[in-house]
């Protein structure tokens, strides 16, 4: 299934994408795509529905119909750094002996086609196409062998990053990762049964039509099951938590010379089977008239 949330920001309703590309309304079945709704038994009940009996939502998704973040009420937005061997090489850094964990604040989460806003004073805002794991069944100290039983599905994330704040401003990476709008998520949560091999998905990102990132989840150092197990050793995972798993090479920081977003650009990105995103980049100082 491709599960989604549609409607105006803050008032999204749950839905799913049918085989004809139409959105079907799930609001008469579930309150939201959030929390316990994402557990395995709940997803089985949704999968058993007669989709043809669900109301059709007017509009074209990601065009005349806005899609919100595909997961509502996200409790934790966990991110993994330097998890692609080729990206670590691009950054001139060693592959970490254990996964690097940082966080994006949930206030950064926006829909897949919402605007991305460069913070005031930023000169080094960057892009990162990433595969994200959505937790369905929570737990602590999850074994790697059981980890995929705790996964509701996968989605696309743009891990927008301010490199000065992240690296040069005296603190953890979190400082440059969680600015408002820095977490476009969706367009849909794709359940595991639709992904033949999560370790071999093509992924890409373009800025104004120029392709900078053109990679694959095949170069991930720490794979999905390991990451779920690893993170659960340090925190309990709950339904609706997201783990964003890192990015392949081609980020702005890795260009020679580095290239950063200035405002006015259009970012487009996608992962095979998980859909695409498209964001217009704006500057906070221009939006606020200062």
Q: How far apart are CA 74 and CA 97, in angstroms?
A: 29
Quote the pLDDT of residue 36: 97
Q: How far apart are CA 193 and CA 118, in angstroms?
A: 37
**DSSP summary character for residue 62:** T
Q: How far apart are CA 215 and CA 93, in angstroms?
A: 18
User: What confidence tens digit (pLDDT) does each residue in 100-120 have?
Assistant: 999 999 999 999 999 999 999
Residues composing the chain: 290
Q: How far apart are CA 115 and CA 282, in angstroms?
A: 7
What residues does 36 pair with on adjacent strands? none
Residue 289 burial class via C-beta count within 10 angstroms: exposed 0-12, middle 13-18, buried 19 and up? exposed
Mean pLDDT value across residues 249-276? 97
Can you list the domains of the chain with their CATH numbers?
Answer: 72-287 (3.90.850.10)
Quote the pLDDT of residue 119: 97
Quote the pLDDT of residue 34: 98
The tokens for 276 are: 């695409």
Angle at 190 between CA 188 and CA 193, to 5 degrees: 165
Spatial CB neighbours of 268, under 8 Å, sequence gap ≥ 6: 205, 206, 209, 276, 277, 278
Percent of the chain exceeding pLDDT 70 equals 99
Q: How far apart are CA 193 and CA 191, in angstroms?
A: 6
> What is the tally of helices (H) and strands (E) in the chain?
5, 18
Quote the pLDDT of residue 281: 98
User: What confidence tens digit (pLDDT) does each residue in 80-101 have?
Assistant: 999 998 887 887 778 899 999 9
User: What confidence tens digit (pLDDT) does each residue in 13-45 have?
Assistant: 999 999 999 999 999 999 999 999 999 999 999
Spatial strand order of the sheet with 202-207 comes to 116-118, 275-283, 266-271, 202-207, 210-216
Q: How far apart are CA 64 and CA 56, in angstroms?
A: 14
pTM of the model: 0.96
Determine contact, residues 43/149, Cβ cutoff 8 Å: no
Residue 290 has pLDDT above 80, yes or no: no
User: What confidence tens digit (pLDDT) does each residue in 213-241 have?
Assistant: 999 999 999 999 999 999 999 999 999 99
Q: Measure CA 45 to chain center.
A: 25
């Amino acid at each position: 299934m491709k599960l989604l949330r549609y409607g105006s920001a803050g008032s999204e309703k749950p839905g799913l994408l049918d085989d004809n590309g139409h959105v079907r309304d799930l609001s008469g079945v579930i309150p939201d795509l959030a929390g316990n709704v994402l557990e395995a038994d709940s997803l089985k009940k949704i999968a058993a529905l007669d989709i043809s009996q669900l109301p059709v939502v007017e509009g074209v998704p990601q065009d005349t119909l806005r899609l919100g973040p595909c997961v509502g009420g996200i409790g934790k937005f966990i991110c993994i750094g330097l998890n692609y061997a080729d990206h670590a090489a691009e950054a001139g850094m060693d592959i970490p002996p254990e996964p690097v964990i940082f966080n994006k604040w949930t206030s950064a989460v926006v829909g897949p086609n919402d605007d991305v806003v460069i913070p005031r004073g930023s000169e080094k805002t960057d892009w990162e196409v990433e595969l994200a794991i959505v937790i369905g069944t929570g737990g602590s100290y999850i074994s790697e062998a059981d980890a995929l039983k705790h996964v509701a599905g996968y989605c696309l994330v743009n891990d927008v990053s301010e490199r000065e704040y992240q690296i040069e401003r005296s603190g953890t990476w979190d400082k440059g990762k969680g600015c408002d709008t820095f977490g476009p998520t969706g367009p849909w949560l794709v359940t595991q049964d639709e992904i033949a091999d999560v370790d071999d998905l093509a992924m890409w990102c373009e800025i104004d039509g120029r392709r900078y990132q053109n990679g694959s989840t095949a170069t991930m150092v720490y794979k999905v099951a390991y990451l779920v197990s690893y993170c659960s050793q340090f925190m309990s995972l709950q339904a609706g938590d997201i783990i964003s798993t890192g990015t392949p090479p081609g980020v702005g920081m890795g260009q020679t010379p580095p290239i950063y977003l200035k405002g006015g650009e259009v970012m487009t990105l996608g992962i095979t089977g998980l859909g695409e995103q498209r964001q217009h980049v704006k500057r906070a100082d221009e939006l606020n008239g200062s």
